[in-house]
Structure 1
């Protein structure tokens, strides 16, 4: 079967044996000619690829639900849209329909539940917006598959000297907006709650950094909007943007950094994998009104 995980990933793998189906959780050490999984304890397990029934990539280390909720809180403050509203433990964000993150409700408090869905639908409908939910995995018992499956990747952040040749500004200038190209108003790009922003530009490459605090005390740097003009790709400019934003984030007191990458964005996943990012959790978007109608 095709593998949805790469070598080095931590996986939950189900496979056939002479006694029936069995499962193993561990790090994937090889894919061919035999699949090799090394559990946390015990010897590695070798499996014929033809016997593999299913593979699910897990976070690189066990992650508690409270850690997912805390990181999502910091990320929501870093991309809050232009209007926010708390509804029964959900943070509702609106930004005139520009970007999914700025126009979705995310469950951030332990008290958040599906009982608030009708109120969420009404709030977005009153603003002429579709009532999207941004659903981190495991926080709520909602089985709908959703759209835009996203990986939240993390790594530690260490102090580093400022990157030379990369311009940093508190707001995006004309050059930054031309390279970014997406039709996202500056008001959405510059929105942040209880945090600070930096917009990086080097040649035909740009990126956005946001430093915000999570409820558990961790200060996070979120890197987003990394884009390189097609004519300037494969020159290392994206790495320069990330290095500059990382150095800036460390100066702001951030100790960890995260990125949100769509599952089907292979170039971005490869870039951040080369920088040492590891899977923390997944997220997807689901229409709240479809859940209300189903209920």
Structure 2
């Protein structure tokens, strides 16, 4: 049986039909209600489909609810403003970001405009070469017809605000202080961490235990989004609720800052983070990946 996502996930599942059926396989789309002893799926119309695990041929997780490409583009626009690097440049429909080569989000080009084309990639490559940086493309699904699998497949998960308890143990500050940077550990320059375009930032800390970053930015459709990122707990402090406390404090802050929706971007193989965000009410919106522009342009 293919590995199944958590109950509540929306999936497209292909499974075998009994011998003698008119066709050997069929598909069902719906939300997972149960994983054992059989897999139970509730379709959009409320029908319950019961499938034996051994009959499952393949499963693909879908966005928790149907999502239009325009909605993906709007959310990714807000997310790009939250991690813009220290230099930005619009090239056609592409937003190019550079941040000393540190972090993928701050050092990649993303097709945010409907005018973004694959034909622009030579110019994208030149822009990054002028800065002695590799030209990475951040490619949300469905925005451009590029089939390369790329690297760092990432889940973009969303939830509504507020509905989060206040967390007194968490402190918030406009800048990351020495303790925040020590707990975070990654060597990300402060000017990259504190960069935002037309938005607000906060840096959350559970003293000696955990940190996180919150950014509120606005998509072109007027939606204010809270982005939670840079959540870090030292190994000796994990599994004690500190990451949850940071996230809950950031959710409250985001609601107070005017956001009505929140998102996180988490690599698909970071199972602990996915589980945490799922428990906080986040659900899959879409997926992204990074592709090297040079692989698409070819030798020059």
Q: Give the TM-score normalised by structure 2.
A: 0.95
Q: Cα 1:294–1:50, aligned 2, differ >3 Å: closer, same or farther?
A: farther
Q: Cα 1:87–1:4, aligned 2, differ >3 Å: closer, same or farther?
A: farther
State yes or no: 1:216 paired with 2:229.
Answer: no
Q: Cα 1:52–1:103, aligned 2, differ >3 Å: closer, same or farther?
A: same
Aligned-partner SS, 2:5: coil
The Cα of 1:162 is off from its aligned counterpart by 4.8
C-alpha separation between the residues in 1 aligned to 2:163 and 2:114? 33
The Cα of 1:63 is off from its aligned counterpart by 0.5
1:241 matched residue in structure 2: 246
What is the number of equivalent residue pairs in this alignment?
295
2:7 matched residue in structure 1: 7
State yes or no: 1:274 paired with 2:285.
Answer: no
C-alpha separation between the residues in 1 aligned to 2:140 and 2:244? 28
Check the 8 A contact 1:159/1:251 in 2, yes or no. Answer: no
State yes or no: 1:168 paired with 2:153.
Answer: no
State yes or no: 1:206 paired with 2:211.
Answer: yes
Aligned-partner SS, 1:69: helix
Aligned-partner SS, 1:220: strand
1:112 matched residue in structure 2: 116
C-alpha separation between the residues in 2 aligned to 1:114 and 1:14? 33
C-alpha separation between the residues in 1 aligned to 2:96 and 2:4? 32
2:136 maps to which of 132, 145, 153: 132
Where does structure 2 lack aligned partners over 5 or more consecutive residues?
none
Tell which deviates more after alignment, 117-126 or 13-22. Answer: 13-22
2:40 maps to which of 30, 36, 43: 36
Where does structure 1 lack aligned partners over 5 or more consecutive residues?
none
Could you give the per-residue CA deviations for residues 127-185 of structure 1, whole angstroms, max 9, x where no partner exists?
11111000000111110001000000000011667532321111100000000000101
Could you give the per-residue CA deviations for residues 187-233 of structure 1, whole angstroms, max 9, x where no partner exists?
11000000010001112210000000011111000000011111211
2:28 matched residue in structure 1: 24
Aligned-residue CA RMSD (Å): 1.5
Q: Which runs of 4+ in 1 moved over 6 A?
A: none
The Cα of 1:6 is off from its aligned counterpart by 2.0
C-alpha separation between the residues in 1 aligned to 2:68 and 2:299? 30
Q: Cα 1:36–1:206, aligned 2, differ >3 Å: closer, same or farther?
A: same
The Cα of 1:287 is off from its aligned counterpart by 0.5
Check the 8 A contact 1:25/1:39 in 2, yes or no. Answer: yes
Could you give the per-residue CA deviations for residues 257-279 of structure 1, whole angstroms, max 9, x where no partner exists?
00001001111111111111000
